[in-house]
Amino acid sequence: MCESWQERFAETPDVLKSAERPQTTVPVLDFKIGDGEFVTMAGPCSVETEQQIMATAEHVRRGGARILRGGAFKPRSSPYAFQGLGLAGLKLLACARQATGLAIVTEVMAEGDVPLVAEYADILQIGSRNMENYSLLAAAARSGRPVLLKRGLVATVADFLRSAQVLLAHGNPHVILCERGIRSFETAMRNTFDVASLALLKQISHLPVIADPSHASGHSDLVPALARVAVAAGADGLIVEVHPCPAKAWSDGEQSLDFAAFDAMMAMLDPWIALREMELAQRCNRQHLEELQMMEAVG
Ligand code: PEP
Ligand code: MN
């Protein structure tokens, strides 16, 4: 890694890539995130009903997702909007895991809820609004579950890395970074997808990095293009909102893909993912060759 990035982010040393720590892999059920396989997490913004979550889980699994997303505790802009089903939502997610074999990622919003959410979830999501809630980060880290850390709405890359450092410093190495768009002067989209940060994070950090094209764009018709850009930028995976009937969703319907749109996106991504795998294999071969040459040179 370029020396200036090391210096620039010197206050978060554990997050930075090094010869000793080139890439972290995060174990989830029987697979790993950051291991070369492109991992898709998909599901509704909120868990609403048994029928909704089961139908979505079955569908996204058939479409190639490995992880089911769905909020049971929801951070909402309005105090009068749907706040999530809470424990009932967690139980529905556990049923969906049982039925499909998908792992579960769901948000935890309060420190006191960490033990409960960790009982049901395979990955704890820390939402954008809580990225700098250090006591929540500490509790989530101590749960022992992998943590999906979403970038704050107005967080710089340095702020983002600082929060990741807090998780690592509390003894949890299994951290996944998520670029989900940031606030800017642009209002056509819900947020501004910071694809440069995705490339930068892949370059400087050993942690897996994923993208959330749903919250980054706020519009379902833009989601596939942003997903494609995320693959090209080197992301390790995606987290994307999918709903059986977006028009009737209790939250974030305008940015949710219906089943047909999810299938179309996954099919469209296939060749891009294949290209990414080819590039990774080439890079691996090059590295191997360089190591062999170095060994020969030293005798
Ligand atoms: C979500 O994933 O539904 C969510 C609320 O995301 P964010 O924290 O990125 O806004
Ligand atoms: Mn949402």
Contact 66 CB / ligand 1 (< 6 Å): no
Question: Mean pLDDT score of the chain, rounded to an integer?
Answer: 96
Distance in angstroms (rounded) separating the CA atoms of residues 282 and 84: 45
For residues 2-11, average pLDDT: 89
Which ligand places an atom closest to the C-alpha of 190? 1
Which ligand places an atom closest to the C-alpha of 239? 1
Distance in angstroms (rounded) separating the CA atoms of residues 27 and 144: 12
**Which tens digits make up the pLDDT trace of 179-212?**
999 999 999 999 999 999 999 999 999 999 999 9
Question: How many angstroms does the Cα of residue 289 sit away from the middle of ligand 1?
Answer: 42
Question: How many angstroms does the Cα of residue 127 sit away from the middle of ligand 1?
Answer: 5
Percent of the chain with pLDDT over 90: 92
At residue 288 the predicted structure's pLDDT band, cuts being 50, 70 and 90, is confident
Question: How many angstroms does the Cα of residue 268 sit away from the middle of ligand 2?
Answer: 23
Judge whether 59 and 76 are in contact, CB under 8 Å: no
In degrees and rounded to multiples of 5, residue 110 shows phi and psi of -125, 145
Q: For ligand 1, pick from 212, 239, 257 the residue to mutate: most ligand atoms within 8 Å of CB.
A: 212
Q: Would you say residue 44 has pLDDT above 70?
A: yes
pLDDT of 3: 72
For residues 262-276, average pLDDT: 97
Q: What DSSP line would sit under 156-214, residue for residue? A: -HHHHHHHHHHHHHTT---EEEEE--B--S--SSSSB--HHHHHHHHHHBSS-EEE-HH
CA angle 102, 103, 106 (to 5 degrees): 125
**Which tens digits make up the pLDDT trace of 81-108?**
999 999 999 999 999 999 999 999 999 9
Contact 201 CB / ligand 1 (< 6 Å): no
Q: Would you say residue 133 has pLDDT above 90?
A: yes
Distance in angstroms (rounded) separating the CA atoms of residues 10 and 68: 35
Which pTM was predicted?
A: 0.96
Question: How many angstroms does the Cα of residue 21 sit away from the middle of ligand 2?
Answer: 33
In degrees and rounded to multiples of 5, residue 68 shows phi and psi of -95, 130
For residues 5-12, average pLDDT: 95
Burial class (CB in 10 A: 0-12, 13-18, 19+), 11: exposed
Residue 258, CA atoms < 13 Å, CB-side half-sphere: 6
Find, among 26, 203, 193, the residue nearest to 122 by Cα. Answer: 26
Residue 228, CA atoms < 13 Å, CB-side half-sphere: 14
Question: How many angstroms does the Cα of residue 137 sit away from the middle of ligand 1?
Answer: 16
The protein residue whose alpha carbon is closest to atom 3 in ligand 1 is 45
Which residues lie below 8 Å from residue 153, measured CB to CB, with a gap of 6+? 128, 129, 182, 183, 191
Contact 127 CB / ligand 1 (< 6 Å): yes
**Which tens digits make up the pLDDT trace of 79-88?**
899 999 999 9
Contact 150 CB / ligand 1 (< 6 Å): yes
Q: For ligand 1, pick from 78, 106, 107 the residue to mutate: most ligand atoms within 8 Å of CB.
A: 107
Contact 109 CB / ligand 1 (< 6 Å): no
Q: Would you say residue 1 has pLDDT above 70?
A: no
Bridge partner residues of 149 (DSSP): 126, 177
pLDDT of 74: 94
Which residues lie below 8 Å from residue 249, measured CB to CB, with a gap of 6+? 44, 45, 46, 48, 243, 256
Question: How many angstroms does the Cα of residue 290 sit away from the middle of ligand 2?
Answer: 45
